[in-house]
Amino acid sequence: MALRNIMEKGEACLAKHCRPVTEFNDKLHTLLNDMAETLDKANGVGLAAPQVGILRRAVLVLETNVPEGEEEYIIELINPEIISADGEQEGPEGCLSVPGVFGWVKRPERVKVRAQNRYGETFEVEGEGLTARAFCHEIDHLEGVLFTEQADHIMSEEELNEYYGFDGGDEE
Ligand code: CO
């Protein structure tokens, strides 16, 4: 596995519509393995292929809603589509491609996604809270949309300190 460079806002690849994955081959598996290593190193909760310069519909989301004592795990979503969404949450959202910036973003509380796995098999997965937020955020990346465009406003340092009382949130 190898680390990939994470592109930052302003790079053309972050503003493009991504094409479907059609070949579920070693090249895709290497990309997904590299993305997992890159996500882990960056301590993020999600990463989309265009963030590493690949304009294909592949994303990773870290499932953080796990029972006490169990490991968080990465969900690989190829050609993902949101098939249902309900409820509403609002809160700070960040992105590994927009380091240090958080925006106040409304998202559904629960989201169901249909996608393919790395072998091309179709499955459905549900997420809530941060996971639902990450599904939406990553799928937006595949349309060239960053959270800064979805945000009600970009949060000031005072606002962030007040919200978190600390030094940072999750980046996707
Ligand atoms: Co992002």
- From the CA of 12, how far away is ligand 1's center (Å)? 14
- From the CA of 120, how far away is ligand 1's center (Å)? 24
Residue 137: which of 65, 62, 66 has the closest Cα? 62
The pLDDT, as a whole number, for residue 166 is 56
The predicted-structure confidence for 38-88, as pLDDT tens digits, reads as follows: 999 999 999 999 999 999 999 999 999 999 999 999 999 999 999 999 999
What whole-number distance in Å separates Cα of residue 133 and Cα of residue 111?
8
Q: Which residues are catalytic?
A: 138
